[in-house]
Structure 1
């Protein structure tokens, strides 16, 4: 059965937020995006412009500007009846998402192994270290952000802006999925950090071993897939059945 996460969640609004002086639409955008990624704003939760204007003590113009920007990034859906919703997460579409992620992750990693420079390697190592630091702090928002930063550094090393742009959009969509199971991964006896896999991928890219880079990228996607399904089985097995 197709299940949109958040359809049965409590949809109470977040606490009042005071904008920074002169923050305008950018402040609203950054605040709402953070709350969407952290799942403080639940998937499929309505976003009322008037309520947001009151919350942020702003006119509706910067609120609308922020929602349009979030819509362009796939974070919200603006419906034809002028209703705006936090973009749903359709759990039944997760296998299709992973198929696309695996293809682009393998392609960008292969290209990185072919075209990387010494500066690219330094950038990847810096991003991987930042991810490990976020893991030590158990800062979930920083973890998802630095994980994306690492993979985008790999993609940029491949020198194909079309693959890089599409991959970046997929990684953004996946950040909420990461937040859903970070705590489970941390507490599970089976949980392992993604950090070691990052550095192993860098090693293959640095050696210009295209085949090994491809293999490691695929295994990295498979690990993400397996962990998320462990989370679903543990948390939602009483709510619905997944056809795996």
Structure 2
């Protein structure tokens, strides 16, 4: 005997959970420096702000902590992860080394599918870079840049290189926000120049020219280092009062 179903089949649309909403907004605020380094993140205050219980707030903070964007102190209070600008030269050296290693490995070990997926992430990056340039919101470009370089690292088939490089890129996202604003506003760089650098990397990986892939990765990191250190120098000297 067939039983006729009287209830209509419902079409459900996935809804954003409370913890995801908190995570997304706080992450955006941290990466864009709306929430500065070492800013306190009080669970009670966040609960009132988002009109949520403490459970989804804690879930969001745990997720942010896994990305290195917040830290929990010994007294169990939570703050935005500090930025130690004294360690910037060490960070930039590590970025250079790991970028060279991962991109060289990618040129040697990549599969055809890797090349296709790297090219796809490049297309997405270029769209996000244009959006950032048009809106002066640098986060889309930062995320696109992260995805592009991580996909290259994965093609290198070395989980240790890729893991360390992922950590370096994650730690550098807020520095990249400063760098991007300075790069386009003060140095007059263009999206086209940045895109060209990435296209050259992809081509070197595609033809498996390991030396060229490493050279381009080093040049890319060296340029970032030079621009960022110039940004820091200008920022420091602009705050100096000249006695008259």
Class of the TM-score when normalised by the shorter of the 2 chains: 0.7 to 0.9
* Structure-2 residue corresponding to 1:175: 173
Q: Which position in structure 2 is the counterpart of 1:201?
A: 201
Candidates 93, 106, 109, aligned match of 1:99: 93
Count how many residue pairs are aligned between Structure 1 and Structure 2.
Answer: 221
Q: 1:158 to 1:236 in 2, by over 3 A?
A: same
- The whole-number CA distance in structure 2 between the counterparts of 1:209 and 1:217 is 12
- Structure 2 residue aligned with 1:226: 226
Alignment-derived partner of residue 8 in structure 2: none
1:1-244 equivalent positions in 2, closer than 5 A: 23-138=17-132, 139-193=137-191, 194-239=194-239
- What secondary structure, in the 3-state scheme, does the structure 1 residue paired with 2:113 have? helix
The aligned residue for residue 14 of structure 1 is none
The verdict on how the C-alpha distance between 1:117 and 1:63 changes in structure 2, with shifts beyond 3 A counting, is same
**CA shift in 2, pair 1:220/1:22, >3 Å:** closer
Conserved 8 A contact 2:18-2:56: yes
Q: 1:78: how far off?
A: 0.6
CA distance in 1, matches of 2:118, 2:166: 16
Post-superposition Cα deviations, 1:129-159, rounded to whole Å, max 9, x if no partner, equal 2222222222411100000111011011111
With 172-181 and 129-138 compared, the bigger mean Cα shift is at 129-138
Question: Which structure is larger by alpha-carbon Rg, 1 or 2?
Answer: 2
Offset of 1:21 from its aligned partner?
6.1
CA distance in 1, matches of 2:59, 2:199: 39
Q: 2: CA distance between counterparts of 1:62 and 1:189?
A: 42
Secondary structure of the residue that 1:131 maps to in structure 2? helix
What is the CA-CA distance between 1:43 and the residue it aligns to?
A: 0.9
CA spacing shift, 1:191–1:236, aligned 2, 3 Å:
farther
Q: TM-score, normalised by structure 2?
A: 0.85
Q: With structure 1 as the length reference, what TM-score do the two structures score? A: 0.85
Superposed CA RMSD: 1.8
Please list the CA deviations of residues 177-197 of structure 1 after superposition, one character each: whole Å capped at 9, or x if unmatched: 111132221122452442211
CA distance in 1, matches of 2:100, 2:16: 43
Structure 1: 5+ residue stretches without partners:
1-19
Gaps (5+ residues) in structure 2? 1-13
1:109 CA drift (Å): 0.5
**Match of 1:85, SS?**
strand
SS for the counterpart of 2:172 is helix
